[in-house]
Amino acid sequence: MTSILPVVLAGGSGTRLWPLSREHKPKQFLSLVGSQTMLQQTILRLNGVDDRLAPIVICNEQHRFLAAEQLRQIGQADATILLEPVGRNTAPAIALAALRATAQGDDPLLLALAADHVITDISAFHQAIMQARSLAVAGRLVTFGIVPDRAETGYGYIERGAPIAAGWGVTGFVEKPDARRAAEYLSTGRYYWNSGMFLFKASRYLSELGRCRPDMLATCRDALAGAAQDLDFVRVDAVAFERCPSDSIDYAVMEHTQDAVVVALDAGWSDLGAWAALSNVLDCDGDGNCSQGDVLMNQVRNSLIHAESRLVAAVGVQNLVIVETKDAVLVASKDQVQHVKKIVEQLRDEGRTEHVRHRDVYRPWGAYDCIGTGSRYQVKKITVNPGAKLSVQKHHHRAEHWVVVSGTALVTNGEKTYLITENESTYIPIGQVHSLENPGVIPLELIEVQSGSYLGEDDIVRIEDRYGRTNNDK
């Protein structure tokens, strides 16, 4: 049996799910439905698929440690994490995975999946994969079409043609329709939502890409030929990949191939493109309200309320989306949530940072939360994972005072190395070489008070870093 190689596309910024989804931690790395993140759920739902290989996860540079840690948490540390220096859409990303697979002398079936989909009926999903498998082995390029349950205007559509084994020939791909045309599509029974999931032989995809877009295939070959292994990551050649045209697999290949086949999928699918989509997959009460966190409601109907860090109370409202985070609150009408990305554009245009990062900032060693700031001081709550270590570094403009709240810290402070534990503290002068490590088996939590004339994250001179970061990395 030909092996299946999952290729998980984990790029993108998820701007329509702001303020939860942000550039430094977009929706695919969030736990939006259930306790696991979207990336983790994408991989875990493949458990039980026969002859499945360790996945290739494709993400961008700034998310590499997030991806690695989330894969480690679900026992998938053997996954390949392939880093894109710039985003070039799905066709080149899948080409990189296909080239890497075939370069190792294999020709697996690539199961291309987005990292931000919800699928509630795992059994039906596996059944669709099995139906697509024989078609892909025979050389077909299979796409999965979602059986529609409403006249949706937010998705593209696939029109099916004549039956082919367990699937259907593809008559055409259709852009997002208006409401009248979407209703027509639904009434015919010939149209499926375009899921953006695919199954095909690696060699067949490369062959069709070479026929349809030889320029794209050539630059992807160059980019992978210049790839380098960096810790757990594969970095493709940035200069070569930047020359690659940007295009989706639909436009680059699927609309032009004669071997496209669609397999119907009816498995409780959603792509969580906007807040309204999330409310459709969460458990709601009798008044149609979905809530997460510390929420109180009175006379509220058909609303989604998410509280991250404090109590959110709503009275006498309906059809709203209310999302609270530590540094931003969104209030939007449910029928207007697709325009949230306009707020993100406004934040970007005004030079603000609330679309880029949360107050909680994640690092390969743990995370920190900036809980207070002034003109010459900054206070952070720092969490260091067991066994993790911050880089050996120094600062030109700030001193630091560390107070351990829980756990044990191994501190390097100039020529001295020592342990400090709960309710103990230490002081790091300006210019002193220092580092912080958690030698224990529980998370280390401490309060860091910074003081000085400049407190930016770029005032870090790294001398040694076990994660391979340079002074240009945050």
Residue 354 lies in a domain: no
**Chain CA centroid to CA 5, Å:** 19
Q: Is there a single domain that holds both residue 127 and residue 238? A: yes
Asked if residue 1 has pLDDT above 80, the reply is no
Beta-carbon count within 10 A of 416 CB: 9
Question: For residue range 91-132, what is the model confidence (pLDDT) as tens digits?
Answer: 999 999 999 999 988 899 999 999 999 999 999 999 999 999
Asked whether 204 and 142 are in contact (CB, 8 A), the reply is no
For residues 125 and 242, state if they share a domain. Answer: yes
Bridging pattern class, strands 141-146 and 191-201: antiparallel
Tally of domains within the chain = 3
Structure tokens, 271: 């792509």
| Residue 472 located in a structural domain | no
Q: Which residues contact 110 (CB under 8 A, 6 or more apart)?
A: 5, 7, 94, 97, 98, 101, 198, 199, 200, 201, 202, 205
Q: The domain spanning residue 248 has which CATH number?
A: 3.90.550.10
| Residue 154 pLDDT | 87
Within a domain: 353: no
Claim to verify: residue 30 and residue 125 sit in the same structural domain: yes
184-242 per-position pLDDT tens digit? 999 999 999 999 999 999 999 999 999 999 999 999 999 999 999 988 899 999 999 99
The pLDDT, as a whole number, for residue 68 is 93
Contact 444, 438 (CB under 8 A): yes
Whole-structure pTM value: 0.91
Provide the CB-side half-sphere exposure for 25 (13 A, CA).
19
Residue 241 shares a structural domain with residue 298: no
Whether 394 maps to a domain, the answer reads yes
> Degrees (nearest 5) of the Cα angle 135, 136, 137?
90
Residue 384 and residue 337 share a domain: no
- pLDDT exceeding 90 applies to what percent of the chain? 90
Q: Would 452 be classed as within a structural domain?
A: yes
Domain encompassing residue 386: 360-464
Whole-number Å distance between alpha carbons of 329 and 251? 37
**Cβ-Cβ contacts under 8 Å for 187 (sequence gap 6 or more):** none
Residues 258 and 328 in one domain: no
Q: Is residue 266 located within the same domain as residue 328?
A: no
- Residue 474: what pLDDT? 60
Same domain, 383 and 340: no
| End-of-domain residue from the set 236, 270, 304 | 270
Indicate the residue among 348, 376, 398 that finishes a domain. 348
Tell me the per-residue pLDDT of 350-380, one tens digit each, with 9 for 90 and over. 999 999 999 998 899 999 999 999 999 999 9
Indicate the residue among 270, 303, 338 that finishes a domain: 270
Q: How far apart are CA 196 and CA 181, in angstroms?
A: 21
